[in-house]
Structure 1
Amino acid sequence: TKGHLFKKLLFNKTYYNKYPLYLFLLFAHFFPAQFTVFYQDPIIRAGFGEEITLQCQLDPPIDATDMEVRWFRTTNDDTVHLYWNNKDNTRTQNTAYKGRTELFKEGLVTGTISLKLKNVGFTDEGMFTCFVDSGTEYEESQIEVKVGASNEPELALLAYELSGFYYGIKFLCKSEGWYPKPEIQWTNENGENLTTLSKSTTERNAEGFFTVESHINVVKGSGSIFSCVMKN
């Protein structure tokens, strides 16, 4: 039996002297290396059109060169990148990721699983899974990607009709090319939040970017210096 074989090998120096390689392979087969997969950064933030690196790490940092490595979308199992039989395999790769990924092979020796993702877009937002299979066991870990885009808002001073020949003034704050939809805050020189006095509109174009306009009327006691801040 397996137990008797190991007992015989463990206490017989002749086997160690005559068959060192055989014993190494035998123990490697019956006692495969145990490992876990963890992430370096749980959340990766990316700007629209940028490239990012998704990274997970084996612990202990054993050689993953001969293992199967697969990055896929956690929600639908779409293959982002597959490394199998010591080479990249694009046959099962989702078409949305063809030509956009690159696995850093040099890091596999130390158990570092790094994947470059190019030209990040809105559809890349969400969870990615790093899956590693040694042939005898497998482990995985998840990383979240958040995609964002922003621009500096423009502030303009406009007049509006109150009644008859009387006019008031208002500040208009406008910005394009945002994702996700930004929050808007108006304040005066004293730091008072005046957002409830403002009116805002948001539109989304065909590319998925948001255009935001917000205006606030200048009334008595509201202040003389106004600031418009957008953030997402």
Structure 2
Amino acid sequence: MFTTFGNRGTMHLGLCLRVLILVALTVPIRAAQPAQETFTLTVPNGPTSTLSGSSVSLLCQVSPLFNVEPLEVRWYHSSNIHSPALLYKDHKIQETPVVPRYRGRVSLTGGMERGNVSLTLERVTLEDRGEYVCQVSSEQWYEKASVFLTVNVTGREPVLSVAEARGGGGGQVNVTCSSEGWSPQPKLTWRNKDGAEIRNEQEVLNTSDPQGLVSVSSWLLYACSYSDWLACTVSLSEEAKREGRILPHIYTAPTAVPGVYKEALIVTLILSLVIICALCSVILCKRRGSMWSSSQKSRNRSDQAELGQRPAETEHLIKGAENTVQTPTEQRAAGEEFNLEGAENTVQTPTEQRAAGEELNLNDWHHVKIFKVNILLDEKNAHPAIRINKGKRAHYVKEKDTEKPSRTHLHVFSEERFSSGQHYWEVKVKDGTTEKLSWYVGVARENVDKRPAVPLTPQNGFWILSYDKEQGFHVNTDPQPPITVAKLTIVGVFLDCDRHTLSFYNVDTKSLLYTFTDVKTSNYFPLLSPGRCDKIPIKIN
């Protein structure tokens, strides 16, 4: 029995020795596998595209296939060849000297034993776009190849507006479409209501901001129409596109027809006088009835005194006569409805008119001026170089010499803020014959970024109409549509929070200057600027 156990133990020991020898022989062979003396890198022919915020793999493969774990793999952006985005060396990824913004976002895809050295980049930003270089090095040889990365960013919804065509004639209007925040350059397409693309009589302009985002705009000369809408589509692909629509027509105010406005005003005044006279007559009759009742009561009391008594029946009749005529105040106190032939129900507030479904025409200044509100300027939120007088007037004073001024944009916000409804106010920008050098008016969203480097643009929460003596009138869109103004003393500003529109008017001519159609935020603050180095005041009317 002991002999049998000894033989089995010897067999197991021999088997273990064979396994150990096999492992010992295999590992050194793999570690000692020599690298290829020469090799090449295979990368995609075209650019690699991805969406902002997603992950992407930049492909790079060694050819012929062999284990590259002992080699050095370096990925870097072509703009910074000395600091890599990823460095693999000594069988591991090195923490330094990589570019800090890539840390925690880059890795090798895997499969290095099969020659795969592809780079995975997570949480892609617009700053990551460009040319990347894949470099693989051994002691005898090195090779590198380039991979191009494009980052797609979908911009904002197009903003459309309509203006009179200059010299166009034939009932044509100039329709403008603009959209911001795209990457790379998008395609802009006009279509009619039937979906057919419009190719003629249009211009397209593309501009880039400091961050590399593209703004696109187009102007189209089109026949004025009250029913045939136009569509403007801006797109990178079928999945990444934005569209806006508009009816290409301009409302003609009554003042455009000679004599019509004057006649309408006279008729309105006459009707108003007739209604006022009728109301006064009714009220006067009521008061006379009340006075007659008091006089009759005194006369009856005098007769009672002469007779020495007043029967109960007479007392009852007199009391009944006193109550037959009541003043409006007495009627209200008694719970009766006071209605002078429906006079109270003939006048509606602007809000009641909107609630009743009446359409508001932004092109008619007379429609929007009824929403006028009182605006006071907030001195606490004014630039140090602005002085506020009585909450209405703002003017520029000499700026204090400071190393770091609070902000470069000279403006002041209002005390009021609006979140719903319709609001209209006026700003007097010219006093007499004195002409200002510059100014701007409009609205801003709550908690805007006030750093000097932040431009006053709609994407940063500012919607403004500006004037500069050198450049004239313009709104802060990119590009800036042409705004022709012959004379402007008072600017009317109309904010419709419910429809997200902001319109500017020339109060002198009672005409519309421009309308922002995508003013979306939770709270709006009116703001104005008297301009830099211009001591002539600007004020809220």
1:82 and 2:98 equivalent?
A: no
Q: Residues 1-232 of structure 1: matches in 2 within 5 Å?
A: 32-40=36-44, 42-77=46-81, 78-104=83-109, 106-151=110-155, 153-154=157-158, 160=163, 173-188=177-192, 189=194, 190-194=196-200, 196-197=201-202, 204=209, 208-214=212-218, 216-219=220-223, 224=228, 226-232=230-236
Summarize the Cα distance change of 1:159–1:28 in structure 2 as closer, same or farther, 3 Å threshold.
closer
- Greater C-alpha radius of gyration: 2
Give the AA of the match of 1:141.
A
CA distance in 2, matches of 1:28, 1:102: 25
**Which whole-Å deviations, capped at 9, do the CAs of 1:32-88 have from their partners, x for residues lacking one?**
443211114541112222221111001111011111000112343131100000001
Q: For 1:218, what is the secondary structure of its paired residue?
A: strand
Give the AA of the match of 1:119.
R
Give the AA of the match of 2:232.
C
Summarize the Cα distance change of 1:147–1:216 in structure 2 as closer, same or farther, 3 Å threshold.
same
CA distance in 1, matches of 2:42, 2:119: 14
Q: How far did residue 203 of structure 1 move?
A: 7.3
Give the AA of the match of 1:70.
R
Which TM-score applies when normalising by structure 1?
Answer: 0.68
CA distance in 2, matches of 1:182, 1:217: 22
Query: For the Cα contact (< 8 Å) 2:55–2:120, is it kept in 1?
Result: yes
**Which whole-Å deviations, capped at 9, do the CAs of 1:3-31 have from their partners, x for residues lacking one?**
xxxxxxxxxxxxxxxxx99xx89x977x9
Q: How far did residue 225 of structure 1 move?
A: 5.4
Q: For 1:123, what is the secondary structure of its paired residue?
A: helix
Query: For the Cα contact (< 8 Å) 1:154–1:175, is it kept in 2?
Result: yes
Summarize the Cα distance change of 1:74–1:228 in structure 2 as closer, same or farther, 3 Å threshold.
same
Q: How far did residue 130 of structure 1 move?
A: 0.7
Q: How far did residue 131 of structure 1 move?
A: 0.6
Q: How far did residue 215 of structure 1 move?
A: 5.0
CA distance in 1, matches of 2:46, 2:185: 23
Q: For 1:109, what is the secondary structure of its paired residue?
A: helix
Residue identity over aligned pairs, in percent, reads 24
**Which whole-Å deviations, capped at 9, do the CAs of 1:115-136 have from their partners, x for residues lacking one?**
1112222222221111111222
CA distance in 2, matches of 1:49, 1:73: 19
Q: Point out where structure 2 has 5 or more consecutive residues left out of the alignment.
A: 1-24, 237-541
Larger relative strand fraction: 1
Q: For 1:129, what is the secondary structure of its paired residue?
A: strand
Q: How far did residue 181 of structure 1 move?
A: 4.0
Q: How far did residue 143 of structure 1 move?
A: 0.7
Question: Which of 1 and 2 has higher RCO (CA within 8 Å, sep 6+)?
Answer: 1
Summarize the Cα distance change of 1:207–1:154 in structure 2 as closer, same or farther, 3 Å threshold.
same
Give the AA of the match of 2:75.
W
Give the AA of the match of 1:180.
P
Query: For the Cα contact (< 8 Å) 1:155–1:171, is it kept in 2?
Result: no
Q: How far did residue 102 of structure 1 move?
A: 1.2
Give the AA of the match of 1:146.
T
Give the AA of the match of 2:130.
G
CA distance in 2, matches of 1:100, 1:210: 26
Which TM-score applies when normalising by structure 2?
Answer: 0.32
Query: For the Cα contact (< 8 Å) 2:60–2:134, is it kept in 1?
Result: yes
CA distance in 2, matches of 1:59, 1:161: 65
